[in-house]
Amino acid sequence: MPTFDLAETPLRDLNQALHDVTAASNDTAFEVLNPRGAHAVASGVDAPVSVDIRGSVGYYCAGMNCEGTVTVHGSAGPGVAENMMSGAVFVKGDASQYAGATGRGGLLVIEGNASSRCGISMKGIDIVVKGNIGHMSAFMAQSGNLVVLGDAGDALGDSLYEARLFVRGEVKSLGADCIEKEMRPEHLELLAGLLARAGVTDVKPEEFTRYGSARKLYNFNIDNYDAY
């Protein structure tokens, strides 16, 4: 297992080594020591590697991740897993604002809390937050699933498209065009699978409320002008 100590080795060397991994590479498991809040750690991974980061990171950790499995044994700054395409990112601590922003695929699991704008403009990513999320989360979320075991802040799902939001706790307020929706059998099945993938075994899908788009803002309507 290649080990990179960022107290001694430049971050550029780590990211270059990750970018150099090919299908024929023998080294596919990496360990990162002393990240000390560095930015863009394991950014742009494009291979089925695993990366264990022993500590907290700054902004855009695991951004644009494709196929990799990145685990942050600490907390993450803004934009963790931003624009992720596939693979998985696990944050053992808390995540700052816009976690999983614009993500197109893959799974992001946050063991602690996530700050504001979690899942903003998500486009297919699955996000599971075991704690609470901040305000304006899932703003303009287009597709994918956001699962929150705790509470959600103000304006959840503002200007939502077709992403599905599942919240177990309280929602402070819903954003424009976001409404509570019926939890049908197919949603319970979907949610059960997401919880299992995130390692959640002590919570039942029936304990969640589903939220989605009222579909009133898809096309301009003069009667709804004050909601735009």
Q: Is the dihedral of CA 69, 139, 203, 54 positive or negative?
A: positive
Task: Tell me what pLDDT residue 26 has.
Answer: 85
Contact 151, 130 (CB under 8 A): no
Residue 27: per-residue pLDDT: 87
C-alpha 44/C-alpha 33 separation (Å) is 19
Q: Where are the domains of the chain?
A: 1-105, 113-228
**What distance in Å separates the CA atoms of residue 29 and residue 74, rounded to the nearest whole number?**
19
Structure tokens at 57: 């990171």
pLDDT of res. 222: 65
User: Tell me, what's the pLDDT at 227?
Assistant: 59
The predicted structure's pLDDT at residue 23: 73
Residue 223 scores a pLDDT above 80: no
Residue 29: how many other CB atoms lie within 10 Å: 12
pLDDT at 197 over 90: yes
Beta strands in the chain (DSSP E): 3-5, 29-33, 50-54, 69-72, 88-91, 107-110, 123-129, 143-148, 164-167, 178-181, 209-213
pLDDT in tens, 28-65: 999 999 999 999 999 999 999 999 999 999 999 999 99
